[in-house]
Amino acid sequence: MNKKNKHIIILFDGVCNMCVWSVRFIIKRDLNNVFKLASIQSKVGKKIIADYNIDVNKYDSIIFVKNDIIKYRSSAVLSIVYHLKTIWKFLLIFYFIPKPIRDFMYILIAKLRYVFFGKRKKCILPNELSTSKFLN
């Protein structure tokens, strides 16, 4: 895989309803076409995971990949919000909270995401959303 890409790649859990909602949120607000998406369960997602040696057992819900920079957990979320056209940019204030505390809050939500938001029986398909945003 070419690690130099003009787009930022977002890897997400394609069976998590909260993650799918987040992907829809991103697609709707990515007005500058900055992001490309892939589920961690897809072939292209698995290739990116292998190319970057990402441990999806440790980081399994959202991963931000820009060239050789990989961000996980709260840093991934905040980096995504930074690039979106949204009123939610106020969340960037959370950068002032130390990363271990931010990540602790993120991990709690990530562990409970299936309980509160449910889980799909199969991975989200690009044709369910904007196909041009997905890597294939």
How far is it, in rounded angstroms, from Cα 39 to Cα 17? 12
Phi, psi of 26 (to 5 degrees): -65, -50
pLDDT tens-digit series, residues 24-44: 899 989 988 999 999 998 899
Q: Is the pTM here over 0.85, yes or no? A: no
pLDDT tens-digit series, residues 63-104: 999 988 999 999 999 999 999 988 888 889 999 999 999 999
pLDDT tens-digit series, residues 52-68: 999 887 776 789 999 88
Q: Which residue has the higher pLDDT, 70 or 20?
A: 70
What one-character-per-residue DSSP string does 10-26 give? EEE-TTBHHHHHHHHHH
CA distances from 2 to 7, 49, 94, 124, 131 (A): 12, 13, 32, 25, 21
How far is it, in rounded angstroms, from Cα 124 to Cα 30? 19
pLDDT value of residue 110: 83
